[in-house]
A and B are shown apart, each in its own frame.
Chain A
């Protein structure tokens, strides 16, 4: 369903993603794990046509996201890591815009908006402006919106960041549900190893723009002789904290972006 070969993305001199290759099979739940700044979001942005890669060959359901952008966009849905709602509109209006952009038929749009907003306990606040929502509510709305249309592939970029355990549980149940009933392929990133362990059939670990391990949770534990996915993750990626370097890289990316224009 997703094929990536020798993908590289450079921002100036910095390689955010360095020659990675992997494959996600149809109907699979695939977790892409890595410390901050490892290249997860960059990879997702390239797969979802928001960024053009420096090098590499990509296929999404047989289509090329560089040359067949619009066809590729029909195949996937995405929940972004950071906010992507219109804060000056209501929850329901945000759902309606999404429905119109993804050509969801009107009647279905109404039904699904209602059931999803109820599922994520936002129905009572459907006519409130998003700017009056708390962080958790916004997150829930983003997720509800992501499930509004039925794509073939669903990208989830750290979807549970800042969610309470109840909403997390609700959201992963929903993910499992559409994966099983509609055979939606799921590509997710998260910092919560227990989540990846629970839902993902296969896991890739990326660090410094390189994939350092791939396999099922069981494989990774066996390879590192650890008894938890978290242990395996730390064994592969080390225990140094990455925030500092990640921020510097981010700044560099910003500067590089500015100068390119």
Chain B
């Protein structure tokens, strides 16, 4: 257990020390919230969707958690290049524990980042329907964080160098975000798009966050939670398997 804790602590410490990075990484969500939120706000309202800032806030929170958690997993690549990975791989600790420590650390960091975006959203105009939804929203943030930290670990363990990183960014991370319904409502989508969104774990995360924070929701909270749980189990297994295969 000591190993899991120390590797978790490492991730959190590294995050808290990179103040400039924290601030920089809040820029993107802020941009989405303010520019899209207010830019498309009047059109969205005219179409009968209500406040757009209110609508996209859960999506942007989900985005912040997605990016932070998946990149914390891919940071495995840096550890491989800067050598620290070797130090952990020769230690007498089962690889599963090493992976668990890293993944939990990455998920924790993503949750802190998500919480900061919640605060920004509140300032930008998010008005939760009830304060009791907040703990539920935190639960969904945690689920998103774990799912994508595990996916990031699986990717980080499989990629050999930085060239693959761009590929992952453009063909995986961004599609996961755009297909999640973070920016648009899920009802009345064309069939093809509808089918694709069903395979995006973030869709259930964003939907859950939306249900918890502003009410409504498309799939239903119980279904969202179940879908995320299944995704978490599958991706954790995938991550553990890829991690156990790392050779340096």
Residue ranges of A at the interface with B (Cβ–Cβ < 8 Å)? 45, 48-52, 70, 73-74, 76, 78, 80, 82-89, 93, 96-98, 100-103, 254, 257-258, 261
Which residues of B92-137 are within 8 A (CB) of A? 92-94
Q: Are B82 and A49 in contact (CB under 8 A)?
A: no
Q: How far is the CA of A74 from the CA of B91 in the complex (A)?
A: 7
Q: Are A103 and B92 in contact (CB under 8 A)?
A: yes
Chain B 230-248, CB within 8 Å of chain A: the 1/0 string?
0000000000000000011
**Dominant SS among interface residues on chain B:** helix
Q: Which of B3-11, B57-65, B179-187, B201-209 contacts A (4 or more CB under 8 A)?
A: B3-11
Closest B residue to A129 by CB, please name it: B17
**Dominant SS among interface residues on chain A:** loop
Q: Are B83 and A80 in contact (CB under 8 A)?
A: yes
Given A80-B86, A84-B84, A88-B14, do A52 and B247 touch, yes or no (CB 8 Å)?
Answer: yes
Closest A residue to B98 by CB, please name it: A101
Q: How far is the CA of A147 from the CA of B91 in the complex (A)?
A: 14
Q: Are A84 and B86 in contact (CB under 8 A)?
A: yes
Q: Are B248 and A50 in contact (CB under 8 A)?
A: yes
Chain B 46-73, CB within 8 Å of chain A: the 1/0 string?
0000000000000000000000000000
Contacts of B5 in A (CB 8 A): 100
Q: How far is the CA of A100 from the CA of B210 in the complex (A)?
A: 41
Given A50-B247, A51-B248, do A83 and B83 touch, yes or no (CB 8 Å)?
Answer: yes
**Size range of the chain B interface in the assembly:** 20 to 34
Residue ranges of B at the interface with A (Cβ–Cβ < 8 Å)? 2-3, 5-7, 10, 13-14, 17-18, 79, 82-84, 86-94, 158, 160-161, 247-248
Q: Are B90 and A49 in contact (CB under 8 A)?
A: yes
Q: Are A261 and B160 in contact (CB under 8 A)?
A: yes
Contacts of B248 in A (CB 8 A): 45, 50-51
Q: Are A93 and B13 in contact (CB under 8 A)?
A: yes
Q: How far is the CA of A201 from the CA of B3 in the complex (A)?
A: 36
Contacts of A98 in B (CB 8 A): 87, 91
Contacts of B90 in A (CB 8 A): 48-50, 73, 76, 78
Q: How far is the CA of A254 from the CA of B92 in the complex (A)?
A: 28
Contacts of B2 in A (CB 8 A): 100, 103
Given A50-B89, A51-B247, A97-B10, do A261 and B83 touch, yes or no (CB 8 Å)?
Answer: no
Q: How far is the CA of A84 from the CA of B90 in the complex (A)?
A: 11
Q: How far is the CA of A179 from the CA of B235 in the complex (A)?
A: 46
Closest A residue to B14 by CB, please name it: A88
Return A85 CB to nearest CB of chain B, in Å.
Answer: 7
- 8 A-B pairs (CB sep. < 8 Å): A70-B94, A73-B92, A73-B93, A76-B90, A84-B83, A84-B84, A88-B14, A93-B10
Return B228 CB to nearest CB of chain A, in Å.
Answer: 29
* New A-B pairs, 8, CB < 8 Å, besides A50-B247, A101-B93: A45-B248, A73-B93, A74-B92, A84-B84, A86-B84, A88-B18, A93-B13, A101-B91
Return B49 CB to nearest CB of chain A, in Å.
Answer: 44
List the 8 closest A-B pairs by CB distance, nearest first: A101-B91, A100-B6, A84-B83, A73-B92, A74-B92, A84-B87, A83-B83, A100-B2
Contacts of A88 in B (CB 8 A): 14, 17-18
Return A25 CB to nearest CB of chain B, in Å.
Answer: 23
Q: How far is the CA of A91 from the CA of B111 in the complex (A)?
A: 28
Return A29 CB to nearest CB of chain B, in Å.
Answer: 21
Cβ-defined partner of A89 (8 Å) among B3, B10, B83, B93: B10
